[in-house]
Structure 1
Amino acid sequence: MGIISYLATASEGGFHLNFDILETNIINLAIIIGVLYVYGSKFIGNILETRKSKIVADLEDAENRAKKAQEALTKAQKDLEQAQAQAAKIREDAKVAAEKTKQDILAKGRDEVEKLKASAVKELSTEQAKVITELKRRVAELALAKVEAQLRSDLDESAQAKLVDRSIAQLGGGA
């Protein structure tokens, strides 16, 4: 009955709550906990269950995103390795192509040099033949000029006329 006496006051003759903290703290706390348990357990339980479900869903979503990120990272690493291998192949192909082009250019250069040498030799031979022909012609002209000059000086007009007549007779048109 001691607890009820704290709750009820004799002066008013009715039942009411005593809000004096020092006198009624344990009783008020028990009543509030009881009311919260009876009326608030479902409400708080629903809130906690909803929060728990949301946290679980967020964790699952985070795990899925982490798994997808790991898969994307693995794929990106494979793609990088393939790209590096392809780049190495392209570099090697470029080196081979450059070496082939170099050899082709050198071969063409050698062929061109050989053609130029052959052309120069041919041109030199042609020029040499022209020079020899020109020298022969000049030698013949000089020899004829010398013989003619010598003949003019050695022959007088009568001897020259006899020589011309004899030459004409030998050629078949004589008198």
Structure 2
Amino acid sequence: MLTSSLVLATAAEGGGHINFGDIFFQLIIFIILLALLKKFAWGPLMGIMKTREDHIVNEINAAENSRLEAKKLLEEQRSLLKEARNDAQNLIENAKKQGDIQRDEIITVARTEAERIKEAAKQEIEQQKEKAVTAIREQVASLSVLIASKVIEKELTANDQEELINQYIKEAGEER
């Protein structure tokens, strides 16, 4: 663009005549300018772009590695969680089984103890019954002796005998 404006300006002054020396000089200056731009501007700019590209590639690779690592950790966590659930379920089942076993043992012990207490109560009742029968026999024997001694002392009519028996029964009941 610079060269075309210079060519036009020269052509307009000279009327139709082109100055090749100026064109050649401007072309050499333009090439030098391009070489300087390449060395001082384009090279460092390309180096910065290359560095930026490398940095972006590294970030993408790091993100991909992080994603893969996260996926791996997620799978590990899922497997650990599944294992923990299985362990918890096994613990619950074992606790239920142990509870059932202990319940059965407690029921068996309680039934055995109840049966023992029942048998002890029966024996106690039987002993008390024996004592009561023995006491009644002793009282009946003493009453019989008493009645017999009274009957021997006096001879009684049927009404007197009945009255005497009722009186002794009444006295025996009061003594108890």
Structure 2 unaligned blocks of 5 or more: 14-29, 156-176
Which residue of structure 2 aligns with residue 79 of structure 1?
80
Q: Name the amino acid aligned to 2:102.
A: T
Which 10-residue stretch deviates more, 124-133 or 143-152? 143-152
TM-score, length basis structure 1: 0.68
Aligned to 1:48: 49
Residues in 1 aligned to 2:4 and 2:74: alpha-carbon distance in whole angstroms: 73
Residue correspondences, number: 134
C-alpha spacing 1:55/1:7, structure 2 compared with 1 (3 Å): farther
Does 2:104 match 1:109?
A: no
Separation in 2 of the partners of 1:55 and 1:7?
49
Q: Which residue of 2 aligns with 1:13?
A: none
What's the C-alpha RMSD, in Å, of the aligned pairs? 2.6
Aligned to 1:92: 93
TM-score by length of structure 2 reads 0.67
Identical residues among aligned pairs (%)? 23
Higher relative contact order (CA 8 A, sep 6+): 2
Matches within 5 A, 1:140-155: 140-154=141-155
- Structure holding more helix per residue: 2
Gaps of 5+ in 1: 11-29, 155-175
Alpha carbons of 1:39 and 1:149: their partners in 2 closer, same or farther (altered >3 Å)?
same
CA distance in 1, matches of 2:100, 2:42: 85
Question: Per-residue deviation at 1:63?
Answer: 1.3
Counterpart secondary structure, 2:60: helix
